[in-house]
C-alpha cells in the first residue's frame, strides 16, 4: 500500500497528513510542519470491531474523518487492483 494524503479539519484548521500503513495500524504524519505547535505531529489509527480508534485525545468526529478517508482510499486501491487483474487476464 502506498502512502496517501488525508486532509482533515482539526481545531478549526484544515490540515494535511501523510498516511502510511505500518504493522496493522495507520500512521499519519503532519505535512505542514509549521502547524506542529497547534496540532499533533504524528497520529496512529486502527480499526477495532468496525470502529476507528486512536491513542490520541481526539474527538470521535476527527477520528471518523481519518477513518472515512482511510476506508475510501482502501476501497479505491482495491478497485484499482481488481481492474489491473482483469486487464491482465483479458
Q: Where are the domains of the chain?
A: 4-89
Q: How many CB atoms are located within 10 Å of the residue 26 CB? A: 26
pLDDT, tens digit, for every residue of 36-69?
A: 888 899 999 999 999 999 999 999 999 999 999 9
Q: How many CB atoms are located within 10 Å of the residue 19 CB? A: 21
| Positive or negative torsion for Cα 20, 76, 45, 4 | positive
Average pLDDT score over the chain: 89
Backbone angles phi, psi at 11, to 5 degrees: 55, 40
- Whether 88 has a pLDDT exceeding 70, the answer reads no
**pTM above 0.75?**
yes
pLDDT of residue 38: 87
pLDDT of residue 78: 87
- Exposure string for 62-76, b = 16+ CB within 10 A, e = fewer: bbebbbebbeebeee
Amino acid at each position: 500500500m502506498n502512502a496517501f494524503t488525508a486532509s482533515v479539519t482539526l481545531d478549526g484548521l484544515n490540515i494535511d497528513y501523510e498516511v502510511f500503513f505500518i504493522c496493522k495500524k495507520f500512521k499519519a504524519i503532519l505535512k505542514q510542519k509549521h502547524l506542529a505547535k497547534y496540532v499533533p505531529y504524528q497520529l496512529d489509527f486502527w480499526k477495532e470491531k468496525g470502529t476507528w480508534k486512536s491513542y490520541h485525545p481526539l474527538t470521535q468526529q476527527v477520528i471518523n474523518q481519518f477513518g472515512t478517508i482511510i476506508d475510501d482510499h482502501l476501497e479505491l486501491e482495491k478497485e484499482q487492483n481488481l481492474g489491473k487483474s482483469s486487464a491482465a487476464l483479458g
